[in-house]
Amino acid sequence: MMKKYTEKDIVVYKNFFEPEDFESILDYLDKPNWKWGHTSGVVHADETPFWNMQLGQEEFFSKHLLDVIKKKTNENFSLDRCYANGHTSGSSGTFHTDWNDETGKTALLYANDTWRQEWGGKTVFNIDGEYHYTEFLPNSLVIFPGLIPHRAEDPTKFFLGLRKTVAWKLISTDKLLNHWIDETNWQ
């Protein structure tokens, strides 16, 4: 039986990374490594593509920052993949899930140095037909179960830049072990 999620399963950590690490993230995301045409999952006729930058091969993201996430959340994760997404006005994502089972979590960093509430850019979660929002706050990390449907809200026309996020797709090694035990009925 699948777990029923609530908005309490969506955890927001404000000012998550130390200033020097956050500055390094911003500097890296200013590099011209962005590629156009990424989508939230299965391409729908009404889906607008957005920008993407793969970060899984960058040890700063895949090792150093992952270690910070594990230490500050006191959870043991292994990394499945890491990337950045970039949205401009008019390029919202569509609802999707990141995992097919309960072993996966997503850590989502809001990676702009400044943000105004009137620029929009929230993350929208759909929990049993009710929408829950997390505000785009620079250097905030949102961790949530990958089975919760979610999407990026595009920035409003008042924001002329790129709404940047970094996503770590994480496998909870504790849940993976429990999932394996449940699946094999091993006791």
CB atoms within 10 A of CB 30: 11
Distances (CA, A) of 146 to 9, 25, 43, 73, 135: 11, 23, 19, 16, 19
> pLDDT averaged over the chain?
90
In this prediction, residue 1 carries a pLDDT of 57
H or E element, residue 164: strand 163-172
Which amino acid, one-letter code, is at 74? N
How much is the pTM? Answer: 0.90
Residue pLDDT, tens place only, 93-113: 889 999 989 999 999 999 999
Phi and psi for 181 in degrees, rounded to 5? -60, -45
Q: What is the pLDDT of residue 114?
A: 97
Cβ within 8 Å of residue 23, ≥6 positions away: none
pLDDT for 172 beyond 60: yes
| φ and ψ of 175, to 5 deg | -70, -35
Q: What is the reported pLDDT for 40? A: 74
- The rounded distance, in Å, linking the Cα atoms of 125 and 30 is 28
What's the pLDDT tens digit per position in 135-171?
A: 999 999 999 999 999 999 999 999 999 999 999 999 9
Q: By the 8 A CB rule, do 121 and 91 touch?
A: no
